[in-house]
Chain A
Amino acid sequence: MSLRTRALQVTTYLGLAILAIATLFPLLWVTSIALMRAPETAAGTPPLWPHHPTLYNVVDIIRRQHLGRYFFNSMVVAAATTALSVLVAGSAGYALARVDFRGRRLVSWLVMLGVLIPNQALVLPLFEMFRAVHLINHYAALVLPAAANPVGIVLVQAYMRGIPAEILDAARIDGASEWRIFRSIVVPLMAPMLAAVGVLIFVVSWNDFMWPMIAMQQEGMQTLPVALAAIDREHYQDIGLMAAGATVTILPMVLVFLASQRYYLRSVIAGSLTD
């Protein structure tokens, strides 16, 4: 290895290390603060490390603020949204990329347009619609609008276009029905992209704030971020308690990332499809 490539490698890893630290530091600090108690958290900037680590704050916020209930709500909504929208993005993305039907271009354009519309602009019409069908304060109010995620559809469509059409033709000639082709060829080939879309949608759903705040006003139906914001308004001086709430909120996303990471790596190593 030459000196130049060596130097390039060192610089690259140094840059990546700085980025990793910048990303991880706030997360770790918040987790660390969640494990602290009054004297440490009361006086100005909390220290980096708890001197007497304790789960008091975590237990306290879960017990007294019924965080478990809100955690459950968020989990149901995020899981249902992810499952449904991966199903929709997978089938719609495939159809828009590879199934020849009338009006395909128009639908593609409409989906693209959907990517450009900010969610905030949809809040008012959505509220009217869901009130009309009496679904406000139901999980469905959060799951259904997110089921057709245009970003997910566009991502799957683009990915599917990269898969040679001849592979599907070969399966047709092999005698496979269209449904069999979707199940045995298309879905396995799309799997890495479906996993990525799933993680993306889970995170977006988990973090969503504005629409859940408006659609879920009944006590006990709020999602975690909305409930946490309410707790924050009451206990904003208790840094330890808030940090515990934040940690509990972030945890599932970290787990989702860790669980799917191996899968990403495999799909990257697997290399391109065509050669």
Chain B
Amino acid sequence: MAALEIENVGKILRDGQAVLRDVTCAARDGELLAVVGPSGCGKSTLLRMVAGLESVTSGVIRIGGQTVNELAPQQRDVAMVFQNHALYPHMTVYENLAFGLLVRGTPRANIDLRVRRTAAQLGLEAMLRRYPRELSGGQRQRTALGRAMLRQPAVFLLDEPLSSLDVPLRAELRRELSTLHRSLGTTMVYVTHDQSEALSLGERIVVLAGGRVQQIDTPVQVYHRPANRFVAGFVGWPPMNFLAAESFDDPTRVPAGEGALEYGVRPECFCARPGGADDLPLTGRIERIESQGSEWHLELTHRLGQVLARLRPEEALRVGEQVRLWVKREDLHAFDRASGLRVEL
């Protein structure tokens, strides 16, 4: 067990493409750090650099205080779970789990004990003699997880381990992973392109885009105080609505800051009735109502564009009619139009 520190790390490929620029983040000892960002933003590259599978162009990576930049993957005490499981196809589940201990010269009896214990933890006891091709998607990913866990590494790296699974299975394994992290207490870095996965699993979240860190904070902070427009739009589903002051019925009541601002309102922050005197009204025509059972998704056309609102179902709401919705001042996010940075109102 150890902390992971990534300091000013950059990665430039042979063809000159800069994949990562000046990335600084850290996972505390025992922490589950989620790294989230759109596809191609450099998440896998970052993880592979921590594992030693990619060279570090600039900056420093430390595991447990020791600089590991020049260490081969074999010498870093890390384990990794790959997106496509990467199990050894010619080995049984037992052999897949045992391989890492075997090559490190662990005594056979000890290997057997640990393999069986891990298999039991992951519900794989009955699968030990099967080959990866004879397993379901979930069992394969569990095996990959087991292979990584078994060695009790200092840092546990997971690269979109659930993205190849279907939705119910993904939810199930997500819960298991969370439990597992609590029981193992190992430092984990969990990479995903799925913001909801990052929000539900991460103790802290690193939002990455275009090879740069956009924000590092707890899920609550990232969600409620996004550092810039990108994070605001990327985290949360359905995504935040972006509005101009003129979108509201009375632009003069919209709090202003220095320079031109863009405003953000999360879909669930609209109310059908005013809650206080300060609430800002916004009027629009209902274009579509999508019932989600416990709530409705309303698509409105207002003066300058469209917004999506999540409301409690109300029979009075009808497609084609005008409706006035209310937004609390504290639910209003503001971003500088030029820099995209968050502006406190």
Contacts and interface: CB of A to CB of B under 8 A. Distances in A.
Most interface-central of B74, B78, B100, B151 (chain A CB within 10 A): B74
A167 B86 contact: yes
Given A177-B74, A275-B133, A169 B103 contact: no
B89 A189 contact: yes
A270 interface: yes
A169 B100 contact: no
Contact of B133 (A167, A189, A270): A270
Contacts of A234: none
Given A173-B51, A177-B74, A167 B99 contact: no
B53 A172 contact: yes
Q: How large is the interface on A (under 10, 10 to 19, 20 to 34, 35 or more residues)?
A: 20 to 34
B84 A173 contact: no
A176 B103 contact: yes
A26 interface: no
Nearest to B144: A170
Contact of A172 (B72, B104, B147): B72
A184 B74 CA distance: 16
Contacts of A273: 89
Interface in B10-48: 48
A135 B90 CA distance: 43
A185 interface: yes
B86 A189 contact: no
A175 B80 CA distance: 12
Contact of B82 (A169, A180, A185): A169
A219 interface: no
B153 to A, nearest CB: 9
A173 B72 contact: no
A171 B133 CA distance: 18
A264 to B, nearest CB: 16
B100 to A, nearest CB: 4
A176 B104 CA distance: 8
A180 B103 contact: yes
B79 A173 contact: yes
A173 B88 contact: no
B103 A175 contact: yes
B99 A176 contact: yes
A189 B99 contact: no
A170 B78 CA distance: 11
A270 B51 CA distance: 31
A167 B53 contact: no
Nearest to A270: B133
Contacts of B82: 166, 169-170
Contacts of B138: none
A173 B52 CA distance: 8
Most interface-central of B52, B73, B79 (chain A CB within 10 A): B73
A262 B78 CA distance: 41
A188 B90 contact: yes
Nearest to A181: B103
Given A174-B103, A189-B89, A189-B90, A169 B84 contact: no
Interface string B63-106: 00000000011100011101010111110000000011001100
A169 B89 contact: no
A174 B99 contact: yes
Contact of B99 (A171, A177, A271, A274): A171
B73 A173 contact: yes
Interface string B100-132: 100110000000000000000000000000000
A169 B73 CA distance: 9
Interface in A153-207: 164, 166-167, 169-177, 180, 184-185, 188-189
A189 B132 CA distance: 14
B28 to A, nearest CB: 22
Nearest to B76: A173
Contacts of B80: 169-170, 173
A175 B79 CA distance: 10
A174 B86 contact: no
Contact of B53 (A169, A175, A177, A275): A169
A190 to B, nearest CB: 10
Given A188-B90, A189-B90, A172 B74 contact: yes
Contacts of A167: 86-89
Most interface-central of A170, A185, A274, A275 (chain B CB within 10 A): A170
A164 B74 contact: no
Nearest to B95: A184
Given A167-B89, A188-B90, A273-B89, A174 B100 contact: yes
Contacts of B103: 174-177, 180, 184
A170 B147 CA distance: 10
Interface string A14-54: 00000000000000000000000000000000000000000
Contacts of B86: 164, 166-167, 169-170
B274 to A, nearest CB: 55
A29 B86 CA distance: 51
Given A173-B74, A189-B90, 10 more contacts: A169-B53, A170-B82, A170-B86, A172-B73, A172-B74, A173-B52, A175-B100, A175-B103, A184-B99, A275-B133
Interface of B: 48, 51-53, 72-74, 78-80, 82, 84, 86-90, 99-100, 103-104, 133, 147, 151
23 contacts: A164-B84, A169-B48, A169-B53, A169-B80, A169-B82, A170-B82, A170-B88, A170-B147, A172-B52, A172-B73, A172-B74, A173-B51, A173-B53, A173-B74, A173-B80, A173-B100, A174-B151, A175-B74, A175-B103, A175-B151, A184-B99, A189-B89, A274-B84
Interface of A: 164, 166-167, 169-177, 180, 184-185, 188-189, 270-271, 273-275
